[in-house]
Amino acid sequence: MCVEGCHKAVQKAIARREFIETAAGVVAGATLGANVIEDATAAPRNFTKAIDLTHTLNKEFPTYGGTENYVELEKIYTIEHDGYLMYKWHITEHVGTHLDAPAHFSPEGNSCEEIDVETLVTPLAVINVKTQAALNSDYQVSIADIEAWENVHGRLPDHCCVAMNSGWSDHLGTDKFRNEDSQGSLHFPGFSIEAAEFLRDKRNVNGIAVDTLSLDYGPSIDFSVHVAWLLSNRWGLEAVANLDDVPPIGATLVVGSPKIENATGGPARLIALI
Amino acid sequence: MCVEGCHKAVQKAIARREFIETAAGVVAGATLGANVIEDATAAPRNFTKAIDLTHTLNKEFPTYGGTENYVELEKIYTIEHDGYLMYKWHITEHVGTHLDAPAHFSPEGNSCEEIDVETLVTPLAVINVKTQAALNSDYQVSIADIEAWENVHGRLPDHCCVAMNSGWSDHLGTDKFRNEDSQGSLHFPGFSIEAAEFLRDKRNVNGIAVDTLSLDYGPSIDFSVHVAWLLSNRWGLEAVANLDDVPPIGATLVVGSPKIENATGGPARLIALI
């Protein structure tokens, strides 16, 4: 299997490598997106560094519904009595930095073990909306944000993951991460339905990712982005960490998602290679 | 952070790429190990394909102790009633293709969330002992096996993962995978204590991996390999899948291990990049 980013979206010249100047600094990488050649032979992707895009999960990790007891570790063996330590996990699968499999909303959609591994190794495009989100907790990534990104970095590469960096992970550990108002409505950024439909219909995107608790913005009452996205049999990622540490384009995301039969998602280890 | 394999073990000539002829065929890769340069600048690692080294986990997956109920998915929300499907997992953490964190045996060792991500992206060296294991279910990987591998492929690269390919994953779904005798002793291959100590003391290795249910061979009564390895604060991988699909050297293993606080291991998504 050829990894995503090698199928059809390849560098114009395989031997040509560039240094991409990013907001985060100068990062070694290969230009993708701007110079797409359809049906070219696969080009190698390369990296020198690994960045962890995963939050540590524990029982204090905030949940969308505010529910407690999403994560419990029951000690069942101990080094003192048994020679080794072992826990039984009791985990509600949509918690922490985690995958939404299509089956979460789609009766016909793939559950975790059915997602092709080739789609889990993917070029990562990061759209920075921190300024907008700082002014409006209910900010929704728009088509205009995507177009502005493409004006700078070129067309989104085929089979990529598009991540929203709203800066919201800075609020983890404070009430602002869920940002619940007195009526019980949450307030944090997400993708707009128009942007989700644009990525689904006008671009070739494997997955979308957010640094908040939901692909939909906090006040959503209909999960319209979840519905539009997951029913197209694509995956999503929520509560992604450390998006400030990766460039807008050039990283490869490896989605270390659980391969548990019938699971509709679950805590995932996300590692970006740059 | 520079990924393992880029720290000190780098290609002799960065620009030079070779095709490595392997038992599995001709695989594009970069020579590592044979031409180690200490303290050279980091070299990019590259890949064009992703190989899934993870078995699908379900409640039928065999366990070391033969215990049932290691994996239960409790349905807590349904699309019909709630708009989405969601399970609560009840999972004993050492099941399926999974990580052994040092804390599994070592009171001072790292638990899952404490393992540096840079050690989870690592050159993969695969030692094939299928012929030996076919003749002897209790086969243990020896120092001689490691030396024979190095005679062909060069010295094990620094910070690599060394995997035993005993062919045992072919027995998954049959009683031979656990291979329990009438006295309750199991019979499958693993690392010998001498090989584990050699890798720990004479080479620079991040982790060891097996395609069986234990780092120790089946009849072990003292878990000596677990003790020797995990107490050195290194990790292990058990029940690895598809090792026939990766070359003896040249792949990069990405260990998508859970980042759950205090966990002593757990189901991991293993993806090899070649």
pLDDT per residue as tens digits for the range A61-87:
999 988 778 999 999 999 999 999 999
When pLDDT is averaged across residues B180-201 and rounded to a whole number, the result is 98
Instruction: Answer for the pair B162, B183: CB distance below 8 angstroms, yes or no.
Output: no
Residue of A nearest to B88 (CA): A92
Side-chain-side CA neighbours of residue B157 (13 Å): 30
pLDDT of A111 strictly over 50: yes
**Which two structure tokens, joined as six digits, stand for B166?**
């005993």
When pLDDT is averaged across residues A103-118 and rounded to a whole number, the result is 97
Q: pLDDT digits over B104-121, tens only?
A: 999 999 999 999 999 999
Instruction: Answer for the pair B4, B123: CB distance below 8 angstroms, yes or no.
Output: yes
Q: Is residue A140 part of a domain?
A: yes
From the CB of residue A235, how many other CB atoms can be counted at a distance below 10 Å? Answer: 27
CA dist., res. A109 & res. A106, Å (int): 5
Which pLDDT score, from 0 to 100, does residue B43 have? 64
CATH of the domain at A124: 3.50.30.50
**Which two structure tokens, joined as six digits, stand for A268?**
């995932």
CA dist., res. B216 & res. A162, Å (int): 43
Residue of B nearest to A15 (CA): B15
Of A126, A122, A123, A157, the C-alpha closest to A38 is A157
pLDDT of B179 strictly over 50: yes
From the CB of residue B191, how many other CB atoms can be counted at a distance below 10 Å? Answer: 32
Percent of chain B with pLDDT over 90: 81
Chain B residues with CB under 8 Å of A263 CB are 73, 87, 89
Mean pLDDT of chain A: 87
Separation of CA B179 from chain center:
21
Instruction: Answer for the pair B105, A79: CB distance below 8 angstroms, yes or no.
Output: yes
Q: Is residue A77 part of a domain?
A: no
Q: Is residue A230 part of a domain?
A: yes
When pLDDT is averaged across residues A191-219 and rounded to a whole number, the result is 98
When pLDDT is averaged across residues B193-208 and rounded to a whole number, the result is 98
Which pLDDT score, from 0 to 100, does residue B11 have? 35
Q: Is residue A7 part of a domain?
A: no
What pTM value is reported for the model?
Answer: 0.87
Q: Is residue A263 part of a domain?
A: yes
Q: How far is B199 from chain A (nearest CA, A)?
A: 22
Separation of CA B84 from chain center:
35
Q: Is residue B174 part of a domain?
A: yes
pLDDT of A190 strictly over 50: yes
Q: How far is A93 from chain B (nearest CA, A)?
A: 6
- Of the listed ranges A19-23, A221-225, B61-65, B70-74, the least confidently predicted one is A19-23
Q: Which of A1, A57, A273 sits opposite B259 (nearest CB)?
A: A57
Angle between helices A143-153 and A193-202 (to 10 degrees): 50
pLDDT of B8 strictly over 80: no
Instruction: Answer for the pair B5, B123: CB distance below 8 angstroms, yes or no.
Output: yes
Q: Is residue B40 part of a domain?
A: yes
pLDDT of B173 strictly over 60: yes
Which pLDDT score, from 0 to 100, does residue A44 have? 76
Instruction: Answer for the pair A261, A111: CB distance below 8 angstroms, yes or no.
Output: yes
Q: How far is A56 from chain B (nearest CA, A)?
A: 5
Q: Which of B57, B88, B103 sits opposite A260 (nearest CB)?
A: B57
pLDDT of B222 strictly over 70: yes
Mean pLDDT of chain B: 87
- Its domain, for residue A51, covers 18-66+93-273
Q: Which of B50, B105, B263 sits opposite A118 (nearest CB)?
A: B50
Q: Is residue B131 part of a domain?
A: yes
Instruction: Answer for the pair B229, A53: CB distance below 8 angstroms, yes or no.
Output: no
Best mutation target among A41, A80, A87, A246 (most B Cβ atoms within 10 Å) is A87
Chain B residues with CB under 8 Å of A94 CB are 86
When pLDDT is averaged across residues A24-40 and rounded to a whole number, the result is 31
Task: Report how many domains make up chain A.
Answer: 1
Which pLDDT score, from 0 to 100, does residue A51 have? 97
